[in-house]
Homo-oligomer: A and B are copies of this chain.
Amino acid sequence: MTLTQLRYLIAIADSGFNITLAAEKVHATQPGLSKQLKQLEDELGFLLFQRKGRSLEAITPAGRDVLAHARRVLAEAGNIRAYAANERGEKQGRLTLVTTHTQARFVLPPAIAELARKFPDVSIHLQPASEGEVLDQLAGGLADFAVVSTAGDVPSGGLAVPLYRWRRVVLVPATHELAALGRAPTLAELAPLPLVSYESTNKPESSLRRAFADAGLEPQVAMTARDADLIKTYVRAGLGVGLLAEMAVSARDDADLRALPAPAAVPECVSWAVLPRERVLRDYALDLLLALAPQLDRSDLKRAVAGHDTPAWPAPPTWVELSQAITN
């Protein structure tokens, strides 16, 4: 058993059991992978993939178990390499983030721009995912860290670092009746109106639905969309009243719309960075995190990542405070 064999095994499994495709991914030849796979199977004493004729058809149950362990082996080997790269002061590498659209579109850009300026040889990969998928992707080892939002709970699946607090806003065309209201509408005022909001609103446990339900009201959700840009588009089209994250509304781009605070009963949210446990992050990943959350202390963060203990995090600023701190 060698690290190479395990790497090939993973590549084959991740290529849909296509050895030729896997060979390209690992920059090797197809017969090379074929042979190494056979050697690994010989050493272990059983087949890792079910053959149909000469083709690989599926992974065997035992293969699935071996694969899971192989991923851990390679993850740890990767940790050693990442640690060494940090130790050497290496300035190039990859950085993969998994996050939702709102974060990627409205929050991350300045921090990522700064990172790209400071580390021009780091290739940055944004992995978009829906609210629910983010932490799954992270658990799969596909990203260096995740950025997610919750209304209340601390996200699980890793070391959760609070970044900032934010509220939702009600967004309407300038001609809409609510535009002249001059204050936050109440839940009761919103309930009869057609709402346009995020897909996650469809889930019964969404904080928005809960807020209405707690007030004995049922919201009229006219439409849900995956991202804030779509929501704004349909608000402009007069489809309904937008209810979305304050980060998604800009004074410059959305001058034709009017934003009001959401009802007080709609709870505040917190955005978090979730760092996978047992994963060594490159120093530039911590840099990005610090750019996202200036209130954090670098050595605190390093100790938390290494030591597996969760310190008392500094209270996260509001989005308004944070965005001012970043632009200054």
Contacts and interface: CB of A to CB of B under 8 A. Distances in A.
Contacts of A62: 83, 87
A72 B43 CA distance: 21
A45 B66 CA distance: 31
A81 B73 CA distance: 12
Contact of A84 (B2, B44, B83): B44
Interface string A156-183: 0000000000000000000000000000
A251 interface: no
Interface string A65-92: 1100110110011011101100110000
Interface residues on chain A, size class? 20 to 34
A1 B87 contact: no
A46 interface: yes
B3 A80 contact: no
A8 to B, nearest CB: 14
Interface in A191-240: none
Interface string A295-328: 0000000000000000000000000000000000
A264 B249 CA distance: 70
Contact of A69 (B2, B45, B79, B88): B79
Nearest to A62: B87
Given A79-B69, A80-B69, A87 B44 contact: yes
Given A2-B3, A3-B1, A3-B2, A73 B84 contact: no
Nearest to A85: B45
B3 A84 contact: no
Contacts of A80: 1, 44, 66, 69-70, 73
Contacts of A44: 80, 84, 87-88
Pairs of residues from A and B, 7 with the lowest C-beta to C-beta distance, nearest first: A44-B84, A45-B88, A73-B76, A72-B76, A69-B80, A69-B79, A46-B87
22 contacts: A1-B77, A2-B2, A3-B3, A43-B84, A44-B80, A44-B84, A45-B87, A46-B84, A46-B87, A46-B88, A62-B87, A69-B76, A69-B79, A69-B83, A69-B280, A70-B80, A72-B76, A73-B73, A73-B76, A73-B77, A73-B80, A76-B76
